[in-house]
């Protein structure tokens, strides 16, 4: 070893030692870790853990190591209880979850202790609309999903169908709660602004036993593109009913769900061939769009000995990275200082593994975080949009649908 190398090692050890001597930064991760939706809760926490491991390997942040604490919450009441418990465990900062209602209650509870709630995965627009002084959202939200679906109709689907966005016939379907209808409303505005013809807007209950009526309505309107925002069971039932009723729009675009094995199992690879889905960015995108995506995938596989279960974990990983950067810039875990540091962040898009940048608006919504579009190809999910996120050898398949 050279003398310089020796010196560097000694220095690093010394740095590490000071980091150890200090109290660690405790981050409390609010997520469902038990019960119905625990699978994705675990997945999100894995993303946090990978970001924390990465930071700790570099000696931590502001001279302190980081530790992750889990707060189990599947509903708002549990969200509040989990925050209270973690405050008892001397947690400094909260991160969390993909369930908007839990995020809402837990961030409120964290505010009572003047602690940051750094949201990485919840989608409801009202979370940032509240103007809560401890709230930051690093990931995309419902409006970003609407925006990307409209862009995909214009730049991806219309050209693939050999058409212009102007006059493109679109049916907008959604489940009928605020989640689906708010996205559908925004999609309609954006698509009509682009000159597309919205031939119909349909809303259905996601617990409905039968959706033949919704499908026949859309079939009667003969759209080129059929867009649906919903949950897994209703999305699957709609697609099954479309198949039974022989409704074959030239392109199908699903928003939010439809990119997991749950849909593959229900419909089969053959029917799904060519179906596009707007969802969280996936590690298969190009390195230039999502720098670090490949490294993230490798780290995930090494630690958990499998592929990621869902793409939510990479958005969580990136969100935690941004949080750690904000702490470093603030030099503190203090609520106001971290928020002030977040407000100053200015990273262009394509800075993180998900392709996100970091620029927060006045309501602390990251304005440079967007979902991507994937397509089902032979039973596999392949990133196809934005174009620079897609691998160069990737081609669109089965558009228009046969």
Residues that bind another protein (CB under 8 A): 35-39, 176, 202-205, 207-214, 216-217, 220, 232-233, 236-237, 240, 243-246, 262, 265-266, 268
Q: Do residues 337 and 325 make contact, with C-beta atoms less than 8 angstroms apart?
A: no
Q: How many helices (H) and strands (E) does the chain have?
A: 14, 12
Closest contact distance (angstroms) between CB of 35 and another protein is 6
Closest contact distance (angstroms) between CB of 187 and another protein is 17
Taking each helix axis from N to C terminus, what angle separates 312-330 and 38-57, rounded to the nearest 10 degrees?
Answer: 40
In sequence order, which residues have a C-beta less than 8 Å from that of residue 22 and are 6 or more positions away?
A: 63, 64, 65
Per-residue CA distances from 175 to 79, 145, 258 (Å): 25, 15, 14
SS3 118: strand
Closest contact distance (angstroms) between CB of 79 and another protein is 18
Chain centre to alpha carbon of residue 163: 30
Of 239 and 394, the one with the shorter C-beta distance to another protein is: 239
In sequence order, which residues have a C-beta less than 8 Å from that of residue 119 and are 6 or more positions away?
A: 95, 96, 97, 103, 107, 127, 135, 136, 137, 138, 139, 319
- What tokens were used for 193? 């602004």
Closest contact distance (angstroms) between CB of 177 and another protein is 10
Of 134 and 229, the one with the shorter C-beta distance to another protein is: 229
SS3 317: helix
**Residues forming beta bridges with residue 68, ordered by sequence position:** 27
Helices (H), ranges, 246-334: 261-272, 293-304, 312-330
Of 133 and 268, the one with the shorter C-beta distance to another protein is: 268
Of 118 and 271, the one with the shorter C-beta distance to another protein is: 271
Closest contact distance (angstroms) between CB of 254 and another protein is 14
Of 98 and 118, the one with the shorter C-beta distance to another protein is: 98
Of 155 and 176, the one with the shorter C-beta distance to another protein is: 176
Of 140 and 202, the one with the shorter C-beta distance to another protein is: 202
**Minimal CA–CA distance to 284: which of 259, 264, 251, 302?**
259
SS3 300: helix
Closest contact distance (angstroms) between CB of 263 and another protein is 8
Of 181 and 197, the one with the shorter C-beta distance to another protein is: 181
Burial class (CB in 10 A: 0-12, 13-18, 19+), 25: buried
Closest contact distance (angstroms) between CB of 183 and another protein is 15
Closest contact distance (angstroms) between CB of 204 and another protein is 5
Of 14 and 222, the one with the shorter C-beta distance to another protein is: 222
Closest contact distance (angstroms) between CB of 209 and another protein is 6
As a whole number of angstroms, the distance between CA 305 and CA 189 comes to 44
As a whole number of angstroms, the distance between CA 158 and CA 85 comes to 51
């Amino acid at each position: 070893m050279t003398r310089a190398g020796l010196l560097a090692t000694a220095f690093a050890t010394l740095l590490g030692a000071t980091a150890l001597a200090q109290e660690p930064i405790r981050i409390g991760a609010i997520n469902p870790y038990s019960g119905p939706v625990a699978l994705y809760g675990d997945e999100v926490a894995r993303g946090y853990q990978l970001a924390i491991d990465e930071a700790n390997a570099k000696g931590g942040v502001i001279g302190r190591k980081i530790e992750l604490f889990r707060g189990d919450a599947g509903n708002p009441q549990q969200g509040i209880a989990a925050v209270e418990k973690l405050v008892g465990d001397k947690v400094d900062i909260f991160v969390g979850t993909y369930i908007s209602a839990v995020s809402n209650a837990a961030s409120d509870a964290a505010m009572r202790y003047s602690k940051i709630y750094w949201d990485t995965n919840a989608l409801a627009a009202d979370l940032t609309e509240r103007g809560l002084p401890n709230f930051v959202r690093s990931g995309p939200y419902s409006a970003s999903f609407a925006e990307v679906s409209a862009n995909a109709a214009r730049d991806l689907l219309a050209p693939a169908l050999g058409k212009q966005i102007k006059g493109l016939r679109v049916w907008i379907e959604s489940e009928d709660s605020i989640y689906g209808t708010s996205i559908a409303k925004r999609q309609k505005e954006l698509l009509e602004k682009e000159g597309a013809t919205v031939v119909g807007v349909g809303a259905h209950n996601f617990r409905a036993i039968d959706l033949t009526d919704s499908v026949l309505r859309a079939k009667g309107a003969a759209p080129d593109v059929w867009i649906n925002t919903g949950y897994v069971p209703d999305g699957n039932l709609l697609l099954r009913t479309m198949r039974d009723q022989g409704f074959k729009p030239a392109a199908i675009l699903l928003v939010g769900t439809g990119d997991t094995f749950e849909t593959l199992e229900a419909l089969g690879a053959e029917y799904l061939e060519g179906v596009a889905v707007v969802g969280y960015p996936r590690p298969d995108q190009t390195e230039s769009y999502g720098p670090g995506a490949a490294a993230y995938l490798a780290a995930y596989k090494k630690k958990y000995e499998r592929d990621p279960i869902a793409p939510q974990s990479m958005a969580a990983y990136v969100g935690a990275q941004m949080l750690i950067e904000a702490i470093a810039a603030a030099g503190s875990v203090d609520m106001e200082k971290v928020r002030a540091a977040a407000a100053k962040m200015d990273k262009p898009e394509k800075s993180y593994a998900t392709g996100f940048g970091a620029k927060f608006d006045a309501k602390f919504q990251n304005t440079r975080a967007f979902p991507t579009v994937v397509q089902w190809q032979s039973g596999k999910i392949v990133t196809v949009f934005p174009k620079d996120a897609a691998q160069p050898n990737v081609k669109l398949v089965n558009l228009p649908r046969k």
